[in-house]
Amino acid sequence: MKTPARLPLLAAAAFAVALPATAATTASAKPKYKECEFTKKKAKRHHAPRCKKDLGRSRWIVVSGEYKEVLTIHDAFDSAVFDGRGTTEFQALGLNGNSAFPSRRHPVSSMVSTRPEGVDFASSSKGGWTTKSRFYDCGITAPAYAKPNGFGGIFSLAGKKRVKVQWFIGAAGFGCDEGPYPTPSPDFPDTVSRYPLRRFRGRRIVRLPIAFDFKDVHDSFSARVTYDGIARLRRYR
């Protein structure tokens, strides 16, 4: 059995707290941005800014994002067995922001948008430890304060043709404070996706799929987490 390490009661709580620090400067003014235009004629006609030819000088808003997470865990120790399943559903619409695309000079950029009233979030889990004598409930439901107030990720250049994004996703967990053993703790990699830069060049609206399927299996321990979602970015310079 994997040496158990107690998971936080809710990973979402840390996630929700982390976003405001990253995007505090983007959420206060809530300006109305106009999409940029690639030609001088259209920019003049629509009273809009010109799109920068250099992608590294462009700016973007993460206008919306959504994902669904499913987490399953099985473990066994002595005569006790743990089985649990958790799910998270997240949707953020009508976001605001002001984020620079990564460039050679600044290869890493935090592209996060916020709008607390535009976010729907639900996360819960069911399951626990079963021994010969009883069942120890480790299920948990996310409290209201755990709701993130936006969506986004850390964008960084990955060579000359790609950008990688570490998405701010993940919330499902278990709490076994009264269980006979600590919460089984899976070891999953970071939620990092890679996208070709051609997805962004010459475009004002970009849709980025979010898809992960991670497993941690060894001895009597097995865990799996899947994410399925999409992020939408809008260019305004």
The closest of 119, 155, 97 to 12, measured between CA atoms, is 119
How confident is the model over 163-204, as pLDDT tens digits?
999 999 988 999 998 778 889 889 999 999 999 999 999 999
Angstrom distance (rounded) from CA 146 to CA 128: 22
Structural tokens at position 63: 């206008």
Q: Name the one residue in this structure whose structure tokens are 């990973």.
A: 11
In sequence order, what are the residues at sequence separation of 6 or more whose Cβ sits closer than 8 angstroms to the Cβ of residue 211? 193, 227, 228, 229
Domain boundaries of the chain, sorted by first residue: 11-235
Angstrom distance (rounded) from CA 237 to CA 225: 37
Which residues of the chain carry a pLDDT beneath 70? 1-32
Structural tokens at position 5: 């390490």
